[in-house]
Amino acid sequence: MAAAVEEITPYRWLILAGLITAAILEVLDTTIVNVAMPQMAGNLGATTQEIGWVSTGYILSNVIVLPMTAFLSSLFGRKRYLVGSIILFLVASFLCGASRTLPQLVLFRIIQGAGGAALLSTAQATLREIFPREMQGTVQSIYVLGIIVAPTLGPTLGGWITDNYSWPWVFYVNIPIGLISAFIVAGFLSDAKYHMPTLKVDWPGIGLLAVGLGSLQYVLEEGNENDWFEDRTIFLLTVISVIALTVLILWELSPRNKHPVVNLRVLKNRDLSAALALFVALGFGLYGGIFIFPLFAQGILGFNATVTGLVLMPGGVATGISAILCGRLLSGKRRLVEPKFLICAGMFLFVLSMWQLGHLTTLSGEPDTRLSLILRGFGLGLLFTPINIAAFSTLKGVEIAQGASMLNLTRQLGGSLGIAVLSTYLTRATASHRLSLISNLYPTNPAFQMRMSQLTHAMMAKGLASESARLAALKIMDGTVTRQAMTMAFNDCFMLIGASVVLVSPGVFMLGRKKLASAASASAPVDAH
């Protein structure tokens, strides 16, 4: 019965390949450039802080455009908007590689981020619309596989390209792949049957959205670097963000606004609201974990970039396996298991992995991290696919596109929040643990005396004079204390990631348990205004 009102697209699997390819390119470009930034800074004569805008500019424009993708898709038509966004992304990629100054590179990265927004949310909404309900488990698992594995592999791929070629090829690699995606979408995808009215453009909403989310994203990106509210700019932008987003919510919900750019009324859907809360924590855990682990592995455990990438790879494979498993369990006329049970299992495995990573020491090696990362990857696959399916299960018509844009926005904001919180916490926790450890290093402490004596004699055996040997021993002790303090801080960060998932776990029980008949009925699109 549902099939009669769903879009019947004969080339849906080919379209799926094109859309997934485009989505992977967008997510990959959030992390692939990070490894190449030192080379970019050297070539362009930029400081470390200045080159950071290559990443910040991309994410800023991406976050601003994401909530508007449903509106833009209706305004231009789904097919034209998707193809146009892919072309814009590719042109910007070429111009990024061809840039010869930092302002040029940042400008084209901002354009690239704006084009990339549709490659996630509009692509995901399209997949929800062109495949019947009984196939959504498989389809969403393939989509999730791409957007989770891509950021994990991004640094490894970026490092390989930079080492073997040069940093412009980090951008040029997008072009041939993106052209194939654009050709498929242009040739086989049709416009959506259901769209929101766009007779009048909500300019106040667009302005408030750009100012509010742009300010918020800047604060999250640059807050730790500038000591948060001690910096006047960060404080001012925080105030602007709060005011703009508050006014935006009131305006978008106002009866006077007949054509809101972001339809916040869709949040009345309990499943979607619960999924958004869960996605904030998952973005926190996904991007926060990708940010923290390489720092710990290379700074404390002594892994190089290649070994770090190889250690992370089995976790990506585990994500793929669990995502495909979820697709099998959640597909078909009769689901073998409800999404919430898979979500609970995924949360348990993810929290367990964070617990294990939170108890590593300075003597831990590759085998000690491998199992934890595999559990983390498997847990992520059990989380993203069922949450996506549960979120879309009762959305109708244009609500699907609106829900997709909000889900991707919360995942991105959750990731930015995770990196901001963890980087700040890491700095302050390291200082706190160092202070605590130093308090035990006093001259009358027998353990301290013994260690200092051993190190001093070892330095004297290498030919140093007595006083020089003592100073060298103190320097070694200082390095040991700092390394131990950083290890304890990293442990705390992993535990904090696990705690964030536990904190939102009650949201799982807000997800409705839908019978097949009602869910199938709910999945039938209607023209919602």
pLDDT tens per residue across span 109-125: 889 988 888 887 777 77
Residues 250 and 302 in one domain: no
Contact between 260 and 252 (Cβ < 8 Å)? yes
Residues 220 and 279 in one domain: no
Please check the confidence at residue 195 and state whether its pLDDT lies above 70: no
Tokens 């298991």, located at residue: 337
pLDDT tens per residue across span 442-459: 677 777 667 777 777 777
Residues 525 and 416 in one domain: yes
Please check the confidence at residue 182 and state whether its pLDDT lies above 80: yes
* Full residue range of the structural domain in which residue 444 is found: 433-482
Please check the confidence at residue 370 and state whether its pLDDT lies above 50: yes
Residues 163 and 177 in one domain: yes
- Calpha distance 403→275 (Å, rounded): 10
Picking from 445, 462, 482, the residue at the C-terminal end of a domain is 482
Residues 120 and 186 in one domain: yes
pLDDT on residue 2: 39
pLDDT on residue 199: 57
| Chain length of the chain | 529
Q: Compute the average pLDDT of residues 32-36.
A: 72
Q: Compute the average pLDDT of residues 349-359.
A: 90
For Cα atoms 291, 382, 62, give the angle at the middle one, nearest 5 degrees. 45
Residues 524 and 502 in one domain: yes
pLDDT tens per residue across span 42-67: 777 777 667 777 777 787 788 778 77
- CB-count exposure of residue 370 (10 Å: 0-12, 13-18, 19+): middle
Quote the tokens at residue 422: 């963890």
Residues 345 and 450 in one domain: no
Contact between 18 and 184 (Cβ < 8 Å)? yes
Dihedral of alpha carbons 411, 337, 502, 271, sign:
positive
Residues 144 and 235 in one domain: no
- Calpha distance 206→212 (Å, rounded): 10
- Calpha distance 32→42 (Å, rounded): 18
Please check the confidence at residue 521 and state whether its pLDDT lies above 50: no
Picking from 467, 482, 497, the residue at the C-terminal end of a domain is 482
pLDDT on residue 40: 78
At 425, the amino acid letter reads Y
pLDDT tens per residue across span 243-263: 888 888 887 777 777 777 677
Query: Which range has the worst mean pLDDT, 171-185, 246-260, 382-396, 437-451?
Result: 437-451
Q: Compute the average pLDDT of residues 13-26.
A: 83
> What is the average pLDDT score of the chain?
77
Please check the confidence at residue 494 and state whether its pLDDT lies above 80: yes
User: Could you tell me the pTM of the whole model?
Assistant: 0.74
pLDDT on residue 520: 36
Please check the confidence at residue 516 and state whether its pLDDT lies above 50: no
Q: Compute the average pLDDT of residues 168-196.
A: 79
Domain count along the chain:
4
pLDDT on residue 515: 41
Residues 82 and 157 in one domain: yes
Q: What is the pLDDT confidence band of residue 282, given thresholds at 50, 70 and 90?
A: confident
Residues 106 and 166 in one domain: yes
Residues 410 and 441 in one domain: no
Cα distance from N-terminal residue to C-terminal residue, the chain? 24
Residues 22 and 127 in one domain: yes
Selected residue with higher pLDDT from 399 and 77: 77
Contact between 304 and 432 (Cβ < 8 Å)? no
Q: Compute the average pLDDT of residues 300-306.
A: 74
pLDDT on residue 94: 92
Assign residue 347 the CATH number of its domain.
1.20.1250.20
- Calpha distance 347→352 (Å, rounded): 8
Q: Compute the average pLDDT of residues 80-90.
A: 89
Percent of the chain residues past pLDDT 70, beyond the cut: 84
Picking from 174, 196, 218, the residue at the C-terminal end of a domain is 196
Q: What is the pLDDT confidence band of residue 1, given thresholds at 50, 70 and 90?
A: very low
Residue 102's Cβ-side half-sphere holds a number of Cα atoms within 13 Å equal to: 21
pLDDT tens per residue across span 479-493: 778 888 888 888 999
